[in-house]
Homo-oligomer: A and B are copies of this chain.
Amino acid sequence: MTPDDAYQWLMQNSLETAYLISMGHVLGWDQRTHIPPNGHAHRHNQFAMLAMWIPARAPDPQVGDHLARVEGSGLTSDPGEVAAVNVREWRRDYDRATKIPQELAVALAKATAEGETAWEQTRPGNDWETFKPFLVKIVTLKREEAQALGCATEPYDAHLDSFEPGETATALAPLLAQLREALIGILAAIQGSSRRPRTEIVHRHCPIPAQERLARLAAQAIGYDFAGGRLDPTAHPFSTGIGPGDVRITTRYDEHSFSQALFGTLHETGHALYDQGLPVEHWGTPRGDAVSLGIHESQSRLWENLVGRSMGFWRHFYPRAQEAFPVLQGVDLEDFHFAVNAVKPSLIRTEADEVTYNLHILLRFELERALMNDDLQGDDLPGAWSDKLQAYLRLTPPDFSQGVMQDIHWSAGLFGYFPTYTLGNLYAAQFFARAELDLGPLEDNFARGDFAPLLNWLRDRIHSQGHRLWARPLVREVTGADLDPRYLVRYLQRKFGALYGFDGETET
């Protein structure tokens, strides 16, 4: 078999896997939007079948044989070329899949399925003691998995690398520590300010049909293509890229918080704009994939926060919001903008603002890194959580369910996932700063309702690049600089300095 034939085999194999995954996306969308109540058991069985088929394809020895025929051939000589990118990622997936022993994979699947169920059952009753052994078991298995996968410097690296290829704790920790100190400083300045936003504004009663119209208008305004997508209501908002021409978003409506649906829609639209901009001709192969969870999150955060919570956006959009929601008609634009940017430390990550959100993530990063590296034991987790929450946010969780048990991630085995949220914020700020260097002050565009220059810039430099580069090299190529938390810090200092009236230009 020639390298060309081997490459064609790998392409077909990649596409078949992608089609199975893409069918799963249709099943998942349907499950969360339209499935009848009694249909869930069968849907779980369908997913179980996919969960048997899809991972079973990855360690197929034929993949290894074909990769060996292609690697070192002329096909992969230029690392920037399509074939080289595809082979690089297929190799990575194959090596990861073959390194994990079958028994460990089964034990992990079982432990995380049980862990999620235990979490769902014990969290409402705040029952940490019952939940703990499930978590401890998962931590033990995830440590074994890290050993099996191998790691540059510490076990936690193997998990970081699962979600953010190439990222390591050693490279990431100093950046996050720098961010942490800056955020604590910004938060102190905010809390020292006498200015307070009128937060009741965002809790006024807004009927859901009007919210839905506004959410559609917002998604369309920033460039979401409804001919290739849909917006539906769900309990938990998400975006799903079924395939070319079919990238769907959902949002959640609350009559007493229009901002939930609106910013939720902008967030999911950000994810969807990335998927709608991926190179169609490479669909189903690595070259056509997104880079990583962090880069995906950078797109959602950029549109939700750097665009959607900017004064420029609201100069354009506020008259539309006032038309949709008569309760806003007496409210000044400035008061409204301050209200949707209120900063207030809270116990729950998912409700956090732009400043405190990353402190929630840093807490988790530090704790899960210590767990994986055996520097922290399950018994000590709630105490460590409380200590850090006190140090970063000056809050103490009143119970486990609002503390160490608040997120499902760990019970699902998702260690190394949380940092991708903050990486997304770091990337977003650095991308946005570069876009303004290239395009001029973007808020002026937003105020005119013109979001196309920014979207086109992202399309050209990020979306259309697919998985050509990993995240750090992509950041370097796009922005001309290494990943640097000072972009995010400077953005937050300026924005919240102006809102809360402190000097936003402090150097960090």
Any B CB within 8 A of the CB of A9: no
Any B CB within 8 A of the CB of A36: yes
Any B CB within 8 A of the CB of A505: no
**Roughly how many angstroms separate A22 CA and B48 CA in the complex, as a whole number?**
13
Any B CB within 8 A of the CB of A229: yes
Inside 8 A of A40's CB, which chain B residues have their CB? 245
**Roughly how many angstroms separate A212 CA and B216 CA in the complex, as a whole number?**
26
Is B243 a contact of A38 with CB atoms below 8 Å? no
**Roughly how many angstroms separate A26 CA and B19 CA in the complex, as a whole number?**
14
**Roughly how many angstroms separate A26 CA and B16 CA in the complex, as a whole number?**
18
| Interfacial residues of chain A within 15-34, with CB under 8 A of chain B in the complex | 15-16, 19, 22-23, 26-27, 29-30, 34
**Given known contacts A45-B19, A46-B19, A38 and B230 CB-to-CB distance under 8 angstroms:** no
Inside 8 A of A227's CB, which chain B residues have their CB? 36-38
Is A245 a contact of B27 with CB atoms below 8 Å? no
Is A230 a contact of B45 with CB atoms below 8 Å? no
Q: Is the interface of A mostly helix, strand, loop or mixed?
A: helix
Any B CB within 8 A of the CB of A246: yes
**Roughly how many angstroms separate A27 CA and B243 CA in the complex, as a whole number?**
13
Interface size on A, residues (CB 8 A): 35
Is A228 a contact of B36 with CB atoms below 8 Å? yes
Any B CB within 8 A of the CB of A248: yes
Is B243 a contact of A39 with CB atoms below 8 Å? yes
**Roughly how many angstroms separate A283 CA and B245 CA in the complex, as a whole number?**
34
| Interfacial residues of chain A within 43-78, with CB under 8 A of chain B in the complex | 43, 45-46, 49
Chain B: minimal CB distance from A360 (Å): 35
Is A34 a contact of B34 with CB atoms below 8 Å? yes
Chain B: minimal CB distance from A56 (Å): 12
Any B CB within 8 A of the CB of A474: no
Inside 8 A of A49's CB, which chain B residues have their CB? 15-16, 19
**Roughly how many angstroms separate A226 CA and B37 CA in the complex, as a whole number?**
9
**Roughly how many angstroms separate A292 CA and B120 CA in the complex, as a whole number?**
44
Inside 8 A of A244's CB, which chain B residues have their CB? 38, 41-42
CB-based nearest B residue for A16: B49
Is A38 a contact of B242 with CB atoms below 8 Å? no
Is A228 a contact of B46 with CB atoms below 8 Å? no
Inside 8 A of A19's CB, which chain B residues have their CB? 45-46, 49
CB-based nearest B residue for A244: B42
Is B245 a contact of A41 with CB atoms below 8 Å? yes
**Roughly how many angstroms separate A45 CA and B18 CA in the complex, as a whole number?**
11
**Given known contacts A23-B46, A30-B30, A45-B19, A36 and B246 CB-to-CB distance under 8 angstroms:** yes
**Roughly how many angstroms separate A243 CA and B40 CA in the complex, as a whole number?**
10
Inside 8 A of A248's CB, which chain B residues have their CB? 36
Chain B: minimal CB distance from A485 (Å): 38
**Roughly how many angstroms separate A246 CA and B36 CA in the complex, as a whole number?**
6
A15, A27, A245: most-surrounded residue (chain B CB, <10 A):
A245
Is A242 a contact of B42 with CB atoms below 8 Å? yes
Choice from B36, B41, B283 contacting A230 with Cβ under 8 Å: B36
Choice from B23, B36, B228 contacting A245 with Cβ under 8 Å: B36
Inside 8 A of A226's CB, which chain B residues have their CB? 36
Q: What are 11 inter-chain pairs, A to B, with CB distance below 8 A?
A: A26-B27, A36-B229, A36-B230, A36-B246, A37-B227, A37-B228, A38-B225, A38-B244, A40-B245, A41-B245, A43-B246
Task: Name 13 extra pairs, CB < 8 A, besides A23-B23, A42-B243, A42-B246.
Answer: A15-B49, A26-B27, A36-B226, A36-B246, A38-B225, A38-B244, A38-B245, A39-B243, A39-B245, A39-B246, A42-B244, A42-B245, A43-B246
